[in-house]
Amino acid sequence: MGNPIILDGKHVSNEVRQSLKPRVDALINKGITPKLATILVGNDSSSETYVKMKGNACAKLGMLSERIHLPEETTTDELLQEIRRLNEDENVHGILLQHPVPSQIDERRAFDEIAIEKDVDGVTTQGFGQIAFDFARFPSCTPAGILEIIDYYNIPIEGKHAVVIGRSPILGKPVAMMLLNRNATVTICHSKTEDIADVVRKADIVVAAVGKPKFVQGDWIKEGAIILDAGYNKGNIGDVDYDACLEKCGAITPVPGGVGPLTIAMLLKHTVIAAENKIK
């Protein structure tokens, strides 16, 4: 294929963040400082890192963040109570419950307790319904980031065959709906898909979101296909065998520095929009 485009998520993320700065300043001038509340239950070290990163990202834009850290033994009811408190807090514009939560908690109930106007991470059942019907204010952040990269690089979607590998409710399923809403023909693959390599070989656009290192092989890729690797595995490895796929694809996101940086950028963007909606 020769010279595929490296889709630089870090650069796109910086552009998004820079575009938010004047919007945050305008809100502050009107007496509203956009505020994101993050809830962390338990002591998962990578979750702690993510929460810290989100707090730092808010601070850089002049936004506020409130970090709620609940103990490992927190019950579902205690978590729901905390979410209700944040729902009612006028100064909180976005609520993020860090995944995963300890096993005794009903995660779906907790997600669905988040008020729709504060669901900046697109995790509620209602939010997913709105994504499917194409009127979501806040689609799930990683899918929104994937679309942001596609748009930044002017990659055509309409009429293309997109194959999404993975069906999680906050990544695979919503990104499939968003591509479908943009007139792609979408196939969703998962652990039970037969002859997955043959399905992927037909794709113009491949979204890898399966959580398995180097799962997508170079010989699965159609000449000139666009690859968006949303995987992040131990050792900074994506779900795509990058070097092998690089030889055939038309464009590809690296790991790290591809889809990842956009996830936080979209979270910030959604929180700013939620704060702007308060004025409207």
Residues labelled as active-site residues: 54, 98, 121
Structure tokens at 121: 């991470």
Give the contacts of 203 (CB within 8 A, at least 6 positions apart).
161, 162, 163, 187, 222, 225
DSSP state of 170: T
Relative orientation angle of helices 9-29 and 45-61, to the nearest 10 degrees: 60
Give the contacts of 45 (CB within 8 A, at least 6 positions apart).
none
**Closest-CA residue to 238 (of 223, 271, 216):** 216
Which stretches of the chain are DSSP H helices? 9-29, 45-61, 76-88, 107-113, 125-132, 141-152, 172-181, 196-200, 242-246, 260-279
Structure tokens at 74: 């927190």
**Closest-CA residue to 69 (of 56, 55, 89):** 55
Which class for 136: exposed (0-12), middle (13-18), buried (19 or more C-beta within 10 A)? Answer: buried
Residue 149 half-sphere exposure toward CB, CA atoms < 13 A:
33
